[in-house]
Structure 1
């Protein structure tokens, strides 16, 4: 909104001399001025750029795996192998390996000459180079020589192409070794088939063993003949045994049935014995109860009877004798008395009933055990009969097998004779290996790999890989990363527009402060570049021509300064600094100075061709080699265009904002309002 003014004449002369009304540029300027001021848009821009950058940084730091992108890594392969002769046949294993590697599709192999491979590494066209030397095949076939030599393959890479090259080199070398191992193994196998150290002695021992085998096979042949005859006899015996087992099974079946009948009869006897016991008990027990009082008086009557027996009267004595006999029959203490025999009869019927009915009684338990044993015996006889039946059925197959064994032993005897003869001939032709440890080592580790980093970014101190220092290969990366990072920090402190803007022309009011800021930033970028270059020289970076390198370094510094200035001009100091840092992060992933060619995820690769750091890095590397090819001039042109475009866009942005301010001033003047700097309130 606007506020009243005391003097409408207070409108600036620039506004009076340059009326704009509501033209397109003025409306565009008003819209652009509002964009950075809206917090929702600011938060959206930050979320759109910062969050992906944080996620990307975490991913590249913790989960980056170069093996996922090996098929995109350009690898130059070359062979200088002159070939070699094995068993009268010429072969070139190096060329064979090269053909297999380039047709496998496992890596992005490029078949070139050895000179081109090394040159391509220096010129950043390849990430790695693998070169097979001239004597490669010859050394492979030396595995059985007196002094075998292990072949060597050379691998080259260059930290100028990415300081993480050593991390990728391990994966590339492992994949290349996998491709090479099969061919080398075949070469070694051919050499081994032409001679093994202990083959001669082993064949001699085998020849002796073959003779012993021949003697043994003769004995085996005789034994198999006897075995065949014995099996025929066994077959007859098995038939007889089968007949006997059938009879045995029939007998045990009868025995089992008989014991079953015995158990049944015993149960019936038990039932009858119970009835007898009950009948006898029902008669004798009451009778004994009646006679028992008389039995107790027998002892009292006996003295009187004995006295009568002494009477002089014969008739009385005879009666006393008969009475005494009758009293003895009633005496329960006399075992042969009538009462005693009745008691024995009663007790006997009770015991008989128990023996025939109680399973725990000796008789009935014995009968039951006999029946159980007879059943088990019958079951065992049945199993024996069944088993002998199966054996009897299998005897024809056994007889046939014995006959086949007899024939096989004859064939074995014939083969043993041929083996003995062949081993004798082979032992005479077997070669000998003199240096067994060296040949064995060639099998354990088929080849040596020499790794040469043409421009290492780190060097190991005192052979301690845990102690490293920055080396010359990090020089260009330090200049590029440092120039852009320091420029971001510089615009966090300095204003991107400097000086007054009291010019009649709106274009001048937009251009002059921006150009003055760009001039100051360019000076700072040049200083940053030169300081970083000095540090690179201290760690060993040494381009071919420093006179050519220094202008390029200054151009890189200028590009870094003005390109980062643009973000601050467009988005303001806070959000512009954040966005420029996010863009800086994406450039790190894509520009090729950290991650080698082809090893960055596809999402980051589009930034490579729009990132100023990409062309800055290429320009530095080309100048380092004094290689002023098309890539060099394209990189220089890209840096210049990007620098000029950043300035032009910055001026245009300020021009549009100035147009918006002029609209505010004219609107204020027409309504009697006082303009506030940067717009009306």
Structure 2
């Protein structure tokens, strides 16, 4: 009961007069005002960025892309104005420069005259990087400069995605055109391969035919040569016959005149006549075969039908003449034979022979002349056949080379067809919609999929744990401006340091708990922040305030006014090391050690865990750390109070509002 009595006594002292009550209320409201006003002012600063004045200067003169006029600067301007993420003001470069100097604008975003031409330069030979120019002035606001960098980066990323999509779409459309042309090329290569196969087969057939023709031409050359030899032999025989029959008319005349003389030599004449008849008959027998060979030669030659007919007509005249001569010779032979049987008939036979001898001589002469012409023609035919054989040999070699070349072309055409077909499979076959989707993926290949284990509702809620902890310290620090750490009278009268210490701590602890209740109401009711574990957080806030009260109590007991000042120093030190704004891992090494030790770090972390629905075990560990500080500070306070019970002065008995 002594502890409650001492607490009640202290509270009555704090509310004894109107000024005392006013001072108490004012100091009790310090943490409420600090936490409430600061969190209210910073509740959602990012949601209010639309009120930040930003100058937008667009000087882009445009460019052309695929024959179309484009102006990316105007497109970006329209997009930014529609987005309204900040307070954009489209203005000139001069007005923007003046505005950022005098604070009218926080920063300037400029798209220069060559903005579009640089973005479209990738399709030419001199690609140039487009520039988004950012102009800032830290005298306006350092954070505005940070925001400017984020806005500029967002604009740059948006432009990159847009232009990248168009470039990727152009590339994919080019692939589509390439694939279409490849399809046609594959079809053409297939047709070419089929044609070269047919050509190669035809060339092989041609080569075989030409080889056969070459063999035939060689045989023709040999046959025409043999025919020429036979014609020469026939011509020689006919010339001999012509020479032999040239004197036949005179001989027949002599025979007719000297029939008696013939009778004596008719036996010899009959023998001679038989020989002549046999020779002439042999010549006649050779004429059809020779004519057939000549006809074959003429058919195989390049002579015109008229020329062939003329040669055959001439040959037929010779044959007719030979036949006529043969008939006459046979008749003469018969007459001579008849002459041999009877000299009576000799005169009449010789007269008839004399009458027919000129015609016979003319026929033999005609046959001789025809055989000469036949021999000359067959010689020309033989020479032509020989030339034909030589040409056919060359043609045979050429056709063989043609067949080999076409086989190589056919192999190459097949390789070309297979290569084009394989390349066609590697070119994507996409529809216009699929190319559009692919271009979008290429321009923005990575999507950010965020998930949060815990999440603060806004910027103010994110900063609340730090400012609640800081408000708790400031509230207790302010209370100790009027709350006495220890009752000097109780120390002197009771001689019970534990009771006095507990009572000295309980008064600010209770008042601090009331402060935390009010602060909790401000952040949950007035500001509307969501708290996942409200009762746990409220209890943790009370523990935090009580711990801070114990620490400042110990400093005051040990060092008095100096201890109160050190409480302010300790607050500043914890303000730096608590990790309330930036992650504590960014601190220098010595400050990281202090972060692990000082109580406000545990207070901030514990409130975060309870407010956002984090790890309750970590919140429990933070509560344990605060409790350790509380017990340790109480122990220090107890030892200080115990020392005071042994050393008292008259000044210790004078109560005062401060001091």
TM range (shorter): 0.3 to 0.5
Question: Greater helix percent: which structure?
Answer: 2
Structure with max Cα Rg: 2
Highest RCO, 1 vs 2 (Cα 8 Å, sep ≥ 6): 1
TM-score (norm 1): 0.33
TM-score (norm 2): 0.34
